[in-house]
Structure 1
């Protein structure tokens, strides 16, 4: 028999300094100095809570007040106008107060919505409250679809089928027409306001180039370079338009050229924010 001996177990020890050196490497470069440079950290972006419209009490208030006003207006309209267009027969199915309230609400709501969509000069919060209060509240309380449905059922029970169908079709078709007209009016009003604001902005930038001119007046402008002049006909039209009379025209000789007016720039300002530096945790070098 041969004696077998097991190999001795390895008892090599690892010192704490070696473990620390392997897990935490020595800094190099600028980080190895006695006072390494401090790297400013990028500011943390502010986390804004998501806006919950159901938690906005002001919206509830303006809708409540607008709905109260619209309901009162429709109730008062029933006392001013006759209940139906006729006492009996075909026109007895046409309910005038409900039809008038629905058409007026469609027109007001479409006009208001189109105007506020272009009214950039009004604060966003004011536009929101106005749209909810007048549009959703007042127009919603002023118009009524439930009354229209009840009137249709009552008319059909009275065997006035033709009148009921006519009243329903006219209500929906006229609603679309008056809504279109209201939207066009709102856009026209907003465009007029925008044009006035643009004129005021140009006047503020170059006030010396603007003056009022009356019809029949001869205007002499200082001569400028050919590449900086605009057509005399365009300048005459703009000058007569500034006098408030669109049909007036300038008579007489115009000496020189009309100075060129640089249009205002609406391009946004360039972004010049610097990219923050990020430091390497091991070496301390900035990237």
Structure 2
């Protein structure tokens, strides 16, 4: 891990986080519904961007790691971590490791919900 690699992730993450905020707010304000359409949009768009990037980098050989760190880990990571979750599941399915995909999905969803519940409970008890 070098400073240059960390800088690429940080720069991409900064732009991804700002893009997430702007996109989610714009969608939610436009639709005006209590359903989190902004987050849903960000997750789908982020997954699409990561899919395009991943497919493109497979064919590209020159400095693909820098692009992966800047756009994949940085921008898409700041924009949405769901995109990484989706790509990892697609990789499991392409490798025909269905059980790993199902376990990963189930554990992520159940543990994620339980972690939020536990965090909320703990947060209420903090002074």
Residue 127 to residue 101, structure 1, CA distance change in 2 (3 Å):
same
Tell me the alpha carbon deviations over residues 124-163 of structure 1, each in whole angstroms, 9 at most, x when there is no partner: xx21100011000000000156xxxxxxxxxxxxxxxxxx
Match for residue 56 of structure 2 among 97, 105, 115:
115
Match of 1:71 in 2: 17
Higher helix share: 2
Deviation at 1:113, TM superposition (A): 1.1
Match of 1:277 in 2: none
Match of 2:4 in 1: 58
CA distance in 1, matches of 2:71, 2:32: 33
Match for residue 46 of structure 2 among 105, 108, 114:
105
- Contact 2:24/2:41 (8 A) holds in 1: no
Match for residue 95 of structure 1 among 36, 45, 51:
36
Structure 1 stretches of at least 4 aligned residues deviating more than 2 Å after TM superposition = 83-87
Residue 71 to residue 119, structure 1, CA distance change in 2 (3 Å):
same
RMSD of aligned C-alpha atoms? 2.7
Q: Higher relative contact order at CA 8 Å, sep ≥6: structure 1 or structure 2?
A: 2
- Contact 1:62/1:137 (8 A) holds in 2: yes
Deviation at 1:78, TM superposition (A): 3.0
CA distance in 1, matches of 2:78, 2:60: 25
Match for residue 75 of structure 2 among 123, 128, 138:
138
Deviation at 1:110, TM superposition (A): 1.4
Q: Which runs of 5+ in 2 are unaligned?
A: 92-127
Give TM-score scaled by structure 2 length. 0.58
Q: Which runs of 5+ in 1 are unaligned?
A: 1-53, 146-171, 181-287
Structure whose CA Rg is larger = 1
Count of aligned residue pairs for this structure pair: 87
How does 1:266-277 map onto structure 2 within 5 Å? none
Give TM-score scaled by structure 1 length. 0.27
Residue 144 to residue 98, structure 1, CA distance change in 2 (3 Å):
farther
- Contact 1:84/1:95 (8 A) holds in 2: no
- Contact 1:98/1:144 (8 A) holds in 2: no
> Any idea what SS the aligned residue of 1:82 has?
helix
Q: Are positions 1:129 and 2:66 aligned together? A: yes
Tell me the alpha carbon deviations over residues 185-211 of structure 1, each in whole angstroms, 9 at most, x when there is no partner: xxxxxxxxxxxxxxxxxxxxxxxxxxx
CA distance in 1, matches of 2:81, 2:19: 12
